Homo-oligomer: A and B are copies of this chain.
Amino acid sequence: RIKASGLKLRFCTNETQATREKFVRKLQGMGFDISVAEVTAPAPAACRLLKERSLRPHLLVHNDLVPEFAEIDKTNPNCVVIGDAAENFTYANLNEAFRLLIGMEKPVLISLGRGRYYKETDGLKLDVGAYMKALEYACDVQAEVVGKPAEKFFESALAEMGVPAEQAIMIGDDIVNDVGGAQRCGMRALQVRTGKYRPCDENHPDVKPDAYVNNLAEAVDIILQQL
């Protein structure tokens, strides 16, 4: 419906458990009209950054994300890239990433997002942000975040659409990473009351969405009514 209306559309995800290809196939299976070229995601953003600065990463990421880094030189690492590694967040893997970082003259930690947690069918899970904080503290460094809510990430999505921030609206379930991040870039933002939404989000001390909607379909209704 958004596309049919002539509005431009971009999917901004912090998904780092799978390649964009896999992510797109999943959404296509749910009936979404979506292609890889319409997705802004942290891993390609990280690859651009690694190339620009000649960084060779040690990857602490989900196995399914590794193909996104296929063209990156990973020998003799001089930085650590952390994503939502899920089952790969083992004690041994965390110690390995830590030892590499603490052994660097100037540790460089790149994080594919700063999410605190997310919801899966079997319950809430710690997200990459929690493990990022563990490594930041242990190594006394500050991670560079390349996913939402980083401004650069939203700016990339806007540039890819060719739309100025004040003419764009973000729809998301995450009060800080989706709503807060987009608003800091000058966009408006709707919070959907689904997914990781929690009622206490409506009393968030720093972030207030421009409006709430009960689900994605209602967001589309509201946006199309304004045209």
Contact = CB atoms under 8 A, between A and B. Distances in A.
Interface residues of A, number: 28
A135 interface: yes
Nearest to A103: B124
A217 interface: no
Contacts of A89: 91, 94
A94 B130 CA distance: 10
Contacts of A129: 137-138
Copies in the complex: 2
A91 B95 CA distance: 13
Nearest to A92: B87
A129 B138 CA distance: 8
A98 B124 contact: yes
A133 B131 CA distance: 9
A56 interface: no
Interface in A77-123: 86-87, 89-91, 94-95, 98-99, 102, 116-117, 123
Given A130-B135, A134-B130, A137-B133, A125 B87 contact: no
Contact of A134 (B95, B123, B125, B131): B131
Contact of A90 (B90, B125, B136, B139): B90
A138 B129 CA distance: 8
Interface in A118-172: 123-127, 129-131, 133-140
Contact of A126 (B94, B130, B140): B94
Contacts of A133: 133-134, 136-137
A91 B134 CA distance: 13
Nearest to A129: B137
B123 A138 contact: no
Contacts of A130: 94, 98, 134-135, 137-138
Interface of A: 86-87, 89-91, 94-95, 98-99, 102, 116-117, 123-127, 129-131, 133-140
Given A89-B94, A95-B123, 4 more contacts: A98-B117, A116-B140, A130-B138, A133-B133
